[in-house]
Chain A
Amino acid sequence: MNNLITVNDLTIAYPMSDGEIFRALNNISVEVNRGQIVGVVGESGAGKSTIGKTALGLLDENAIIEGGSVSLEGEKISNLSEAGFAPIRGKRIGYIYQNPMTALNPVLTIGEQLLETIEAHTDKRGNAAKAYAIELLEQAEVPEAEDRLSKYPHQLSGGLCQRIVFAIAICARPDLIIADEPTTALDVTVQKAVLDTLKKLAKQDNIAIILITHDMGVVAEMCDYVYVLRYGGMVEHGPTEQVLAHPSKDYSRELMAAIPRIDKKVDRFAVPGGMGKSADRDRALAFLLRREDRNVIVDDKPLLTARNLSKTFVTPATVVSAEKVFKAVDDVSFDVSHGETLGIVGESGSGKSTVGRMVLGLHQPDEGYELTYRAQDLSSLKSRAERLALSKSMQCIFQDPYSSLNPRMSAGENITHAIKAHGTVGRTEAHELAGDLMELVGLPRGNVRKMPHAFSGGERQRIGIARALSFRPDFLFCDEPTSALDVTVQAELLNLMKDLQSTLGLTMLFVSHDLAVVRQMCDRVLVMKAGQVVESGDCDKVLVDPDHPYTQGLLQAMPRFSFDMG
């Protein structure tokens, strides 16, 4: 037996509150050799994190190992007690946590958290331990290593915190590191550098890595061998290139097809995910197209014009802190023409969502701006009726499906509550319409009375789309509508949005951090950085051959999913 770690037919079960048993893992076998980097990939609910937790004895109290085992160098470890894991944790298996900002204790210094690990696993004490801590930080490519020891986690960036977590993980030179989504919480430009460091550290000490991720690009760049999981079961496994380029199972094929590509634009993603019943859909479309002001004559001017948008957030002084001023958006101007989709792309904190929220009136822009919609100056709208007509025409698809629906209203009520309140439709008509709209966005109308918590993230996002459509809008602001979703669900939803746009002639402002998604959805794009537009133009130009170094950097940092699938 020359495997470093062997997961053999492992089945992990959780008893649920309703008496049923949920199997997080079902007969899973994984093998890792010394120095090998193995990817475990799957969408949420695949059970991939559970493998790592079993190997370290970190499963929740109520988890039951129903069958199978985990062995480290031929020695069974999955049945050890908390004390039995002591000589394994940190010493033979290191662990890298998903979110570096929450993995470090907020009230202890970096130095203390590093030194206590060193003291637990080596016989270095005092100055020797400190010197070793600095050495580890330098290996993990933390700049100004010595200064960092006295800092607290909240004073450092996410990327730095993750490097510190790396330093902690390699401190005892373990044989294996389990890295659970190590870059999910980080921006794309940081992600690449952090992954490079991880790979370097592993090579340097011949450490094997189990890399748990949902990101195929990361797998393609890092792993020698990959396991694909779904709903706790094994779909397929093999050398990375073989699985990614020539997947042998339907699900893996679908998964690969669902990944948005930066290098070429496709009309539709090749994923199943149908629409509802056609009779219901036709009724919904008839309602949406039958609108009083649909035929407003518009000259060749753009539908929406934004000039000199800026937004300064002021956090007022409180008992404990002085006033904070933060310029989220700095002098942004753009046009959106009828029927086109304008993308705004940027990393977190670039102010891209704030731009859209200002257009909708959810934020008041700083003085000196100009917003024109359908040749009307938005700031001059005074009467309630005018504002209402406007808010009906401009709607939003929100980012977080778990908070964008009123949890105390049924799906149908969420969709039609507002148009009922405005008297657009009557009570019975609203109920019919809610069902029709649900079928239009691909949900069975039988679910109209269910409460939001009964739906998955993707389904909730569909309800959110139906709600936005109920107002018969011309303009949709899509605020990272798929960033909280799995890749196959994202592909289905993007397909739906493309279909709706072409049927209804919608104009869209599409905000995303994902360049590939923007490439697939948008005609033109603005690239934002720290509140300013650094580059703009057609997607085919900006996202293929950008002029600005920042955009070039973004493109380069994207994990390439380079195997061609023929």
Chain B
Amino acid sequence: MRFHFKTSYDQDIRLFPDGWNLAVYSALLLFMLALPLMLDSFFLGEVTNVLIWAIAGLGLMLLTGQTGQISLGHSAFMALGCYTCVLLMEAGMPFILAFLLAGIITGVVGGLIAVPALRLHGVYLAIATLALAIIADDIIVMLSPWTGGVNGKFAPDIVIFGLEVNRWVNPEYWYYLALAVALLVTLIYRNLLRSPLGRAFAAVRDSEVSAQAMGVDVARTKTVAFGLSCAITGLGGALMGLFAGAFNNETFNFLLAIQLLMMIVVGGLGFIHGAFLGAIVVAFLPQGLSIFTDTLGRGYQIPGLEIGVFGMILVLFLIFEPMGLYGRWLKIRIWLELFPFARRDMFRRQKSYLKTERVR
């Protein structure tokens, strides 16, 4: 068991509380950097996919895990991020600029949509945002002169400072691009959590009344949360579309938003790690299942297997581990640290309600 002896406030403020923690994450970063040496291009592509899902998931996590607002409309913002980025690139803007601008535009649009939407609470907000996701599908078709409608669009080549990033030619470049964005988003996320805005998010999540009594402008904080969340998800969407190579209105339909929400619940709501763990499940599940069905025989197919298994996983998590994979890991870690003194009822769940439902 490790003890923290604190001699300075900075120990609580800095990114890594102690040397051990820093060492663990440095090792992880080194491992991630060295991954292209260990994997073939297929699995490297899969890991890139995980990172892209994680980026989109971090966006939703900021809103749902941190601020307590449910959104089933984030597929719309993934689409917005993707189309904006591609249209800007086609207009001749360099990739990095187009990519970041797409995030900012998505964030601003998200913030504007949030102003009316966030007057709603809990399940009503979920339904309103779901409607948004469904409408977005139609809007993409209606705007076909720009979006290509149902025929879709092909992703333009990504060129960063003269280097061409192509999934088929140099998958490791794509991987590093996704890794860099994931790192940037995680760093911003983490910085927000250790500053007043991140704490205001938690305050709004846990008790709106008392957040107000502490001087937190609840409506504005929610709007900022929604905007930031949409910006990050928009970046994820842009990467997803570019990585897929071709996309149309179906790529970003509302099922994607539901999958994104399920992903962060399975990973662990409110944890950065949760977005990554959930992304691993979402991205590798189809592969795992196809490997499994292959063992049953060539060409053997079970329709709906993937959705069924995913739904089953979600239900099991909601019943047995609502804190998700990362919550489970935390419990295992505490058990190991305290061994043999951990007690069974240490992790007994307390009944809790959606605070936004209780406090108006």
Asked if A and B are interacting partners, one says no
